[in-house]
């Protein structure tokens, strides 16, 4: 948290920048109000640079367009029905929204859009006090009718209006509370937490797409742990991602096992850390696939838990079951097919490495590991390493060294055999020529035979591969 003076200096820099100065001058000359609002103002006090420039005004959408057309290199009105106009001014993308005074139906997730007539009224209908501050332009006066600055100083997240009213108006704000708890590192005030718990079922009226987008924003934050805990503790997760609270398995005195819920959150924490440490790209974006896989990798355990003799607990095939559950849940949340397939594959493969520590893998086993991971190999490296949460230092070091060894072998084999494009030594046409056959199932069987040879023994060369193929064919491969 920066000092108020430093934050005001930063806001002054933003207000006097070329795009903002041109915009504020144009609105002033047109006799309309304009204010920088929300995230950019909040982030100035947090010492952060805001990626977006959001403004609010008393001008109608039609009037906003009249004002920005002469000074914008481009403009669009995709959000016009909600009072928002976008534009490109002096190279910067800006969004300008008419003051809002929306009303909501108790059973609807969409507001009846009503334009307001004052900045203070507009700020009072926003989600949280820290997002309800504005800087009037061009005079550069801070407007804070809900006490957002005081909450910022206290590290407190509080709704701008009564939490019951706020969350009834837009239940998605309950998920936004979790996201801001995580991304800002603030503590949600007690009244809002109680209201979230009492209104958890209201999240059911929100579309799956909006829930998905908010979940992605949460897990894309630097430290989503606290936000996810808030969703679980208030009952929101039970309605949008029930597999997560289901991980809180009861542990009795006889049958002991790791706390799967806490383990999963820790794996997510560690995956995020590895995601950063293994990348040299300063502009990298959060890897939603690896984070979803880390969070959901053990969701098959509740369904596969078995109590064995001597107090032992097993979770046989929880990887396969978990992959199916994850795919089903992500489909329900309207994730795209590529994400669903990638997350499912990672969960299904996340246990594979632990066989490596039980006995030396042959080169063939290493090749199969790489082949099965495909283009998810780097993500699988991250997930598998993150899945080690033991407090036993010697065991953790042993597993880390084992995975170092596996990655080294993968790199050596890749360099020696160009393993990223593992293919048989003969093409389909060469197989048909060698066996004097036409296209059909037999070609596929022969191809798979040569692929297995390639995986087991590495490159054979065309002549040796042809000899092996003819022997296999003569010994029954054609049947």
The pLDDT tens digits of the residues spanning 31-55 come to 999 999 988 999 989 888 777 899 9
Query: What pLDDT is stored for residue 255 in this prediction?
Result: 41
* Mean pLDDT calculated for residue range 323-333: 98
* Mean pLDDT to the nearest integer, 398-417: 84
- pLDDT band at residue 141 using 50, 70 and 90 as cut-offs: very high
Work out the average pLDDT over 343-360. 86
Kindly indicate the confidence band of residue 308, based on its pLDDT and cuts at 50, 70 and 90.
Answer: confident
Assess contact for 40 and 53: CB atoms under 8 A: yes
Do 304 and 317 form a contact (C-beta atoms < 8 A)? yes
Contact of 230 with 286, CB cutoff 8 Å: no
pLDDT value of residue 258 = 64
- The band of 444, judged by pLDDT with boundaries at 50, 70 and 90, is confident
Q: How confident is the model over 206-213, as a mean pLDDT? A: 96
Whether the CB-CB separation of 142 and 58 falls below 8 Å is answered with no
- pLDDT (average), residues 2-20: 83
For residue 177, pLDDT over 80 is answered with yes
Does pLDDT of 100 surpass 90? no
For residues 57-77, average pLDDT: 93
For residues 149-160, average pLDDT:
95
pLDDT at residue 417, as a whole number:
64
Residue 310 has pLDDT above 80, yes or no: no
Q: Are 58 and 32 in contact (CB under 8 A)?
A: yes
Instruction: Give the lowest-confidence range in 87-96, 174-183, 203-212, 451-460.
Output: 451-460
Closest CA to 325 of 298, 360, 289, 307: 298
Which pLDDT belongs to residue 108?
56
| pLDDT for residue 309 | 72
Quick one: pLDDT at residue 116? 80
Percentage, residues of the chain above pLDDT 90: 62
pLDDT (0 to 100) of residue 443: 85
The mean pLDDT of 214-243, rounded to a whole number, is: 97
Task: Calculate what percentage of the chain has a pLDDT beyond 70.
Answer: 93
Domains of the chain in start order, with CATH, are 1-154 (3.30.460.10), 156-240 (1.10.110.30), 271-421 (no CATH), 428-477 (no CATH)
Read off the pLDDT of residues 368-394 as tens digits, 9 standing for 90 and up: 899 999 999 999 999 999 999 988 899
Question: What pLDDT, on the 0 to 100 scale, is given for residue 52?
Answer: 82
In this model, does residue 1 exceed pLDDT 60?
Answer: no
Distance CA(304)–CA(84), nearest Å, equals 50
pLDDT of residue 253: 42
425 token code pair: 């030594």
pLDDT category of residue 109 using cuts at 50, 70 and 90: low
Whole-angstrom Cα distance, residue 459 to residue 462?
Answer: 9
């Amino acid at each position: 948290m920066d000092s108020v003076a430093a934050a005001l200096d930063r806001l002054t820099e933003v207000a006097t920048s070329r795009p903002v100065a041109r915009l504020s001058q144009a609105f002033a000359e047109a006799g309309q109000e304009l204010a920088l609002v929300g995230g950019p103002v909040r982030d100035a006090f947090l010492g952060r640079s805001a990626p977006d420039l959001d403004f609010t005004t008393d001008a109608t959408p039609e009037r906003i367009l009249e004002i920005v057309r002469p000074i914008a290199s481009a403009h669009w009105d995709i959000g016009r029905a909600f009072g928002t106009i976008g534009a490109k001014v002096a190279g910067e993308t800006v969004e300008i929204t008419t003051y809002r005074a929306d009303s909501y139906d108790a059973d609807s997730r969409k507001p009846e859009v009503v334009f307001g007539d004052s900045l203070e009224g507009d700020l009072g209908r926003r989600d949280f006090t820290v997002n309800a501050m504005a800087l009037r332009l061009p005079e550069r006066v801070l407007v804070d009718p809900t006490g957002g600055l005081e909450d910022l100083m206290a590290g407190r997240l509080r709704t701008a209006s009564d939490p019951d009213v706020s969350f009834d108006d837009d239940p998605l704000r309950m998920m936004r509370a979790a996201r801001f708890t995580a991304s800002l590192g603030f503590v949600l005030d007690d009244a809002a937490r109680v209201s979230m718990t009492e209104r958890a079922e209201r999240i059911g009226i929100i579309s799956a797409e909006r829930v998905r987008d908010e979940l992605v924003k949460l897990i894309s934050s630097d430290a989503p742990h606290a936000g996810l805990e808030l969703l679980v503790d208030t009952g929101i997760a039970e309605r949008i991602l029930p597999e997560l609270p289901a991980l809180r398995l009861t542990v009795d005195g006889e049958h002991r096992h790791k706390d799967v819920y806490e383990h999963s959150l820790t794996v997510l924490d560690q995956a995020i850390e590895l995601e950063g440490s293994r990348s040299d790209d300063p502009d990298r974006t959060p890897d939603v696939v690896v984070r979803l896989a880390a969070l959901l990798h053990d969701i098959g355990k509740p369904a596969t838990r078995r109590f064995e003799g001597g107090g032992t607990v097993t979770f046989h095939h929880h990887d396969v079951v978990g992959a199916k559950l994850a795919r089903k849940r992500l489909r329900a949340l309207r994730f795209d097919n590529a994400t669903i397939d990638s997350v499912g594959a990672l969960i299904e493969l996340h246990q594979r490495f632990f066989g490596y520590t039980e006995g030396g893998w042959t080169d063939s086993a290493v090749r199969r590991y790489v082949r099965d991971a495909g283009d998810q190999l780097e993500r699988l490296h991250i997930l598998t390493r993150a899945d080690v949460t033991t407090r036993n230092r010697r065991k953790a070091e042993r597993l880390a060294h084992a995975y170092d060894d596996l990655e080294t072998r993968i790199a050596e084999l890749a360099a020696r055999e160009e393993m990223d494009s593992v293919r048989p030594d003969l093409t389909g046409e060469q197989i048909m020529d060698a066996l004097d056959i036409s296209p059909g199932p037999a070609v596929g069987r022969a191809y798979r035979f040569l692929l297995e040879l390639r995986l087991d023994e590495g490159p054979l060369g065309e002549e040796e591969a042809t000899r092996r193929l003819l022997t296999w064919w003569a010994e029954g491969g054609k049947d």
